[in-house]
Amino acid sequence: MSSQARKSPVSLNSLRQKKRRGERFASLTAYDALFAELISTSGVDVLLVGDSLGMVLHGHDSTLPVTLDDMVYHMNCVRRGNQGALIMADLPFMSYASESQSLESAAALMRAGAHIVKLEGGAWLAESTRLLTERGIPVCAHMGLTPQSINRIGGYRVQGRDPSEAQSMINEALILQDSGASIILLECVPVDLGQEITERLEVSVIGIGAGPHTDGQIMVMHDMLGLTPSSIRVPKFVKNFLPESDDGIPGAFRAYAEAVRTGVFPGPEHCFT
């Protein structure tokens, strides 16, 4: 697919239709206007203004120092460059610790142009998810490896390998769907678990290190251009698409979107069993 304007903007509805038709979609992080434009015209359907910006742009060693003001700033930049992709924005660490705080923080991101907000956690997010959804703010629940809880988890490692942990993740994903979540994002889980959750849910499931069966895939933009900061170990689920591009960075974005759509990415070498 060459760079071109879309026929119509991507919506949660169009993602749901893709799931029904069994069509895969690609997502990437974006933090500024220029990359938002390049990515959203390359066949990538969802832009994530991720709190990973704390690590890849701001030089922190975790996502914990990122503030709501940081997120609103980068959200505004991405909105200005976006050409019809769905924009998801992260609620940063401690900006949704209570239900009323979730509403205020999410409202700030929606006012800046987000179409959906992402929160990290499991069933404990059910009430906030219900409140946000009822007030017109769509929610993506980020499960599995949740980087904002890195100090509790104790390291960037695969989640849900133990059968009882896997079963709880399935149950909690169903609870969040029932509470109104429009998307579930799964990070670093075994292929079988990624597949089971995707098949059991009606809403779209986006994976990062969650195997090839999820409805969509996501990666940090810098990782897929081979630009991971030297202080971060390149995760197994990352593939650098720049070497196979015939057109520099825009070509790498198109190659990634195409590889996701056709099911070529992720391959077995990017997955956890």
Q: Which residues bind ligand KIV (CB under 6 A)?
A: 29, 48, 50-52, 90, 142, 185, 187, 208, 218, 220
Q: Is 134 exposed, middle or buried (0-12, 13-18, 19+ CB in 10 A)?
A: exposed
| Beta-carbon-side half-sphere exposure of residue 197 (alpha carbons within 13 Å) | 37
Radius of gyration of the chain (CA): 17
Residue type, 47: L
Residue nearest to ligand KIV (CB): 50
| Residue 208 Cβ vs ligand KIV, minimum distance, rounded to whole Å | 5
Q: At what angle do helices 248-261 and 33-40 cross, to 10 degrees?
A: 50
| Residue 192 Cβ vs ligand KIV, minimum distance, rounded to whole Å | 20
**Which lies closer to ligand KIV via its Cβ, residue 48 or residue 131?**
48
Among candidate residues 187, 196, 202, 244, the one labeled active-site is 187
**Which lies closer to ligand KIV via its Cβ, residue 153 or residue 167?**
153
Token output for 261: 């759509």
Strand partners, 204: 183
- How far is Cα 197 from Cα 160, in angstroms, rounded to an integer? 12
CA distances from 7 to 4, 83, 84, 204 (A): 9, 11, 9, 21
CA 99 to chain centre: 22
Q: Which of these, 254, 125, 134, 269, lies nearest to 191 by C-alpha position? A: 269
**Which lies closer to ligand KIV via its Cβ, residue 47 or residue 126?**
47
- How far is Cα 198 from Cα 213, in angstroms, rounded to an integer? 7
**Which lies closer to ligand KIV via its Cβ, residue 3 or residue 113?**
113
**Whether 269 is catalytic:** no
H or E element in which residue 54 lies: helix 53-56
- How far is Cα 92 from Cα 41, in angstroms, rounded to an integer? 27
| Residue 50 Cβ vs ligand KIV, minimum distance, rounded to whole Å | 2
| Beta-carbon-side half-sphere exposure of residue 137 (alpha carbons within 13 Å) | 27
**Which lies closer to ligand KIV via its Cβ, residue 52 or residue 182?**
52
**Which lies closer to ligand KIV via its Cβ, residue 132 or residue 185?**
185
Which residues are known to be catalytic?
Answer: 187
